[in-house]
Amino acid sequence: MNSELPKLIQGVAQLREILDAVRRRGRRIGLVPTMGALHEGHLSLVRASKAECDFTVASIFVNPSQFGPGEDLGKYPRTLDADLAKLAGCQTELAFVPANEDVYRAEHATWVEVGSVAEPLEGQCRPGHFRGVATVVLKLLNMVRPEVAYFGQKDYQQAAVIRRMVADLDVPTEIHVCPIVREPDGLAMSSRNAYLRPDARRRALVLWKSLRLAGELVDAGERNAGTIVEQMRGVILTAGDARIDYVALVDPDTLEPIEEITGPTVAALAVKIEDTRLIDNLVLNPKQQ
């Protein structure tokens, strides 16, 4: 297998020059936006792009505008050399690694605000988060101009926000959302998992256990959202230090809470174990009765 490192580009002008030449050859470009600290979840997105596109760009940028006061911007893992090696293993053609000043010029004053789908759940817990996410993703889409951009289902609401933005602003990029990749014991892969000490890592399994319980309850015929949420919370709280930001059953398109399950429903949760905030979700599909 070719393990040559991807071409590393920092400046936007050079990026556009290279991609314009790719485009002139009629090649389909895929973009995988990341904040680095790559794991198998990210690499699954790269492989999806490689399977569907002729040229894959992975961006690595720890976006300061999506972190709130007191969040982990300063300690967010930065592992560029290891990331480039992993991208090489997937035969990624180009890594776009801009500096802050390449993305946000000194006079930057324009922000993207997405409406109702950005307001619940993460929108309530992390004010301003999706403004930062939507702005940087739109900038990356404008810089790269890919035919397709790839995101993971683990950040379900983020994907919904980006889809809404792309539709509303007529951005000519397809958004593909790829399945969650889990560790063998079920924990959703996340760069923040690296923060967890071994005992906390074991306690974090309550997230996946609670989601599996939700699926089992729905499969057994339970349709009352309140009953399911209550039982999910009970499982999570068996981890003595768990602090729940939210456990919710929501409409898969609007992310509004539901009371009765009548069709596909997203079980979404955000929980702090030790000082690490983890999110996860599962799409529940009730059997038609």
pLDDT value, residue 287: 85
What is the chain's pLDDT, residue by residue, as a tens digit (289 residues)?
457 999 999 999 999 999 999 999 999 999 999 999 999 999 999 999 999 999 999 999 999 999 999 999 999 999 999 999 999 999 999 999 999 999 999 999 999 999 999 999 999 999 999 999 999 999 999 999 999 999 999 999 999 999 999 999 999 999 999 999 999 999 999 999 999 999 999 999 999 999 999 999 999 999 999 999 999 999 999 999 999 999 999 999 999 999 999 999 999 999 999 999 999 999 999 987 5
pLDDT value, residue 288: 73
Look at strands 276-284 and 265-273 and give their pairing. Answer: antiparallel
Q: What's the Cα-to-Cα distance from 25 to each of 21, 141, 149, rounded to whole Å?
A: 7, 20, 20
108 labelled catalytic: no
pLDDT value, residue 1: 44
Residue found by looking up tokens 């619940």 in the block? 120
Under a CB-based contact definition with an 8 Å cutoff, are residues 202 and 193 in contact?
no
Query: Exactly one of 39, 42, 108, 176 is catalytic; which is it?
Result: 42
* Residues of the chain above pLDDT 70, percent: 99
Q: 176, 133, 151, 123: which is closest to 33 by C-alpha?
A: 151
pLDDT value, residue 289: 56
Rounded to 10 deg, the angle between the 156-168 and 129-144 helix axes is: 60
Q: Rounded distance, CA 15 to CA 147, Å?
A: 16
Rg (CA), the chain: 19
Q: What's the Cα-to-Cα distance from 110 to each of 131, 132, 140, 179, rounded to whole Å?
A: 10, 11, 14, 32
Tell me if the pTM is above 0.85.
yes
What one-character-per-residue DSSP string does the chain give? Answer: ---PPPEEE--HHHHHHHHHHHHHTT--EEEEEE-S---HHHHHHHHHHHHH-SEEEEEE---GGGPPTTSSTTTS---HHHHHHHHHHTT-SEEE---HHHHS-TT--------GGGSSTHHHHSTTHHHHHHHHHHHHHHHH--SEEEEEGGGHHHHHHHHHHHHHTT---EEEEE---B-TTSPBP-GGGGG--HHHHHHTTHHHHHHHHHHHHHHTT--BHHHHHHHHHHHHTTSTT-EEEEEEEE-TTT--B-SB--S-EEEEEEEEETTEEEEEEEEE-PPP-
Mind listing the pLDDT tens digit for each residue in 212-265? Answer: 999 999 999 999 999 999 999 999 999 999 999 999 999 999 999 999 999 999
